[in-house]
Amino acid sequence: MLKLNHIKKIYDKQEILTDVNYEFHEGKIYPILGGAGAGRTTLFECICGDVPIDGGSIETRSKRELFFAAKQSVLPMYISGYEFIKFLCSFKKDDVTPDEYLDKVGIDDLRHDLICNYSFENKKRLQLAAFLVQRPYVVMFDEPLDFCSDDYIDTFLHVLSSECQNHVVLISTGVLPVALRISSDVLILNNGELNEISEEMINIPEINNAILDILGDLEE
Task: Report the pLDDT averaged over residues 199-216.
Answer: 92
Per-residue pLDDT band at 92 (split at 50, 70, 90): confident
**One-letter amino acid of 98:** P
Domain 2-75+137-215 adopts which CATH fold? Rossmann fold (3.40.50)
pLDDT digits (tens, 9 = 90+) for 106-163: 999 999 999 999 999 999 999 999 999 999 999 999 999 999 999 999 999 999 999 9
pLDDT at 220: 44
Q: Which residues contact 74 (CB under 8 A, 6 or more apart)?
A: none
Percent of the chain with pLDDT over 90: 89
Length of the chain: 220
Q: Which residues contact 65 (CB under 8 A, 6 or more apart)?
A: 136, 137, 138
pLDDT digits (tens, 9 = 90+) for 3-40: 999 999 999 889 999 999 999 999 999 999 999 999 99
pLDDT at 17: 97
**One-letter amino acid of 94:** D
Residue 219 has pLDDT above 80, yes or no: no
Q: Which residues contact 210 (CB under 8 A, 6 or more apart)?
A: none
**Domain boundaries along the sequence of the chain:** 2-75+137-215
DSSP string, the chain: -EEEEEEEEEETTEEEEEEEEEEE-TTEEEEEE--TTSSHHHHHHHHHTSS--SEEEEESS-GGGEEEE-SS----TTSBHHHHHHHHHTT--S---HHHHHHHHT--GGGGSBGGG--HHHHHHHHHHHHHHH--SEEEEESSSTT--HHHHHHHHHHHHHH-TTSEEEEEES-HHHHHHH-SSEEEEETTEEEEE-HHHHTSHHHHHHHHHHHT----
Q: What value does the mean pLDDT of the chain take?
A: 94
Q: How far apart are CA 165 and CA 154, in angstroms?
A: 18
pLDDT at 62: 75
| Intra-chain end-to-end CA distance of the chain, in Å | 41
Per-residue pLDDT band at 218 (split at 50, 70, 90): low
**One-letter amino acid of 71:** K
Task: Report the pLDDT averaged over residues 44-48.
Answer: 95
pLDDT at 43: 97
User: Which one has a higher pLDDT value, 11 or 74?
Assistant: 11
Q: How far apart are CA 132 and CA 99, in angstroms?
A: 12
pLDDT at 72: 82
Q: Which residues contact 52 (CB under 8 A, 6 or more apart)?
A: 46
Residue 101, Ramachandran bin (φ over 0: left; ψ between -120 and 50: alpha; else beta): alpha
